[in-house]
Amino acid sequence: MRILWRPFEFSRRLLKVKSCSITESEFLIPLAWTSLTQKLRKASDISLPGQRKRSSTMPEIETNERDSELFSPPSDVRGMTKLDRTAFKKTVTIPVLKVKKEIVNKLMRSLKRAALQRPGIKRVIEDPDDEENRLIMLDPYKMFTHDSFEKAELSILTQLNVKPQISKYNLELTYENFKSEEILKAVLPEGQDVTSGFSRVGHIAHLNLRDHQLPFKHLIGQVMIDKNPGITSVVNKINNIDNTYRNFQMEVLSGEENMMTKVRENNYTYEFDFSKVYWNPRLSTEHSRITEILKPGDVLFDVFAGVGPFAIPAAKKNCTVFANDLNPESHKWLLHNCKLNKVDQKVKVFNLDGKEFLQGPVKEELTQQLGLSKERKHSVHIVMNLPAKAIEFLSAFKSLLEGQPCSRELLPIVHCYSFSKDADPAEDVRQRAGAVLGISLEACSSVHLVRNVAPNKEMLCITFQIPTAILYKNQTMNLEHHEDPPVKRQRTDEAFSEEKTQIASNT
């Protein structure tokens, strides 16, 4: 599945050309800019854009701003809440160079600097007055007169017998020719943030709109569908994620109300009802990261499995997988996706509360696994991906097992996810997890930054081996100085690979 969190795509349909005659033009720039140019020339010896001999160029940001002004939608669409595509028509004047059609290909490479670079606009169009000629669209902020051509460009034009005569051409811009961010910037209140990204879940685009965007929500939804091929439904989250079933209420802003979707992630296929289960496409990298840590033959307990993004890749890697989720809908789709990816014989699926799962099936399997020969090579991993509450479930490991403790190299490795708004999020997660377990994790854990959820809110994963003194009953080991092998403290992806090597050597 593709993960998209980026500015909206835009249609690359070609511009409609409004027929008009071609005339010579001294300056093909707005009147105000012409006036400013003349005043600056009189006032000083400053070189200006468009002059062939110049000592400096206009800063890129100013060029972008001017380009935005020329190619932005009409100003009268401001405040529009119901999309009217016909209101976006606008005619702009573009400088052009008239050439014979047979030399266009030879010429274009040499005119790369001078040619118009606006995406979605064809740089070469037919001459409506002469079918033997073509018109090359030029950059309206660089090309004003024949003096705007550089020496090398003039040389090529001379070789190809082309007169460096710039003319003007009127083009009609329509709704199809504007980028979605340009449309929304023109419509929403001036100075307000526009929606520049979304999560894609199959055919569904998932938004988190801000308050000032809500009056324009249906227009925003329709623009997203128009500008993003394959998107047929746009939804907006209208409440926080439910901590029990990890789903949320959503409103369909535009398009079909079908929430049944199919996604591809890391070469695996998942089907589910997006309105009833939890799915976050921005966790694709994290799903892959954990899968890479696992080795064939390892045992994975997925406490909050959702629809299977950890469990299914692990099973495909020939791990023994126990996957659980309390949400009946997630449990249903987890079973479905295991069959869909042909791993249903390798995954044991449960529909229990996380604590019940840990104190039931996990305890039973751990008792068996940790009682096996010390010569076994596989590791035991426990994934707890419920960031809002997973740390609370760590208490289930306290005195979970009875009998003679296993070798410390065989102790389960926990990957527990959490949110943090602390100034030092890694330390915050360590302290909270340690407080629940009743032990310091300062020297025996690593914390991996998963993603930035919101300003000053991070999602992290703390990884550690469960100490013998925690996992087994009647242990008198000093919890502050237990003898389990330390895991070097790291916070970056690069350093985390070293931690994997160390953990692997212990297991």
Residue 478 annotated as part of some ligand binding site: no
R_g of the chain, CA atoms, integer Å = 31
Structural tokens at position 70: 């020329």
322 close to 348: Cβ distance less than 8 angstroms = yes
Residue 428 annotated as part of some ligand binding site: no
Q: Identify the bridge partners of residue 169 per DSSP, sorted by sequence position.
A: 94
Cα-to-chain-centroid distance, residue 48: 40
H-type helices in 383-452, by residue range?
A: 425-437
Structural tokens at position 35: 């006036």
| CB-based burial, 310-340: b 16+ in 10 Å, e otherwise | bbbbbbbbebbbbbbbbbebbbbbbbbbbeb
Count the neighbouring beta carbons within 10 Å of the beta carbon of residue 138.
26
Q: Identify the bridge partners of residue 234 per DSSP, sorted by sequence position.
A: 205, 254
Residue 325 annotated as part of some ligand binding site: yes
262 close to 269: Cβ distance less than 8 angstroms = yes
Q: Residue for token digits 């405040």?
A: 79
Cα–Cα dist 482/507, whole Å: 18
187 close to 80: Cβ distance less than 8 angstroms = yes
Residue 326 annotated as part of some ligand binding site: yes
Q: Measuring CA to CA, how many Å separate 419 from each of 51, 284, 450, 456? A: 56, 18, 10, 10
Q: Residues annotated in the binding site for S-adenosyl-L-methionine, as ranges? A: 287, 325-326, 353-354, 385
Q: Residues annotated in the binding site, as ranges? A: 287, 325-326, 353-354, 385
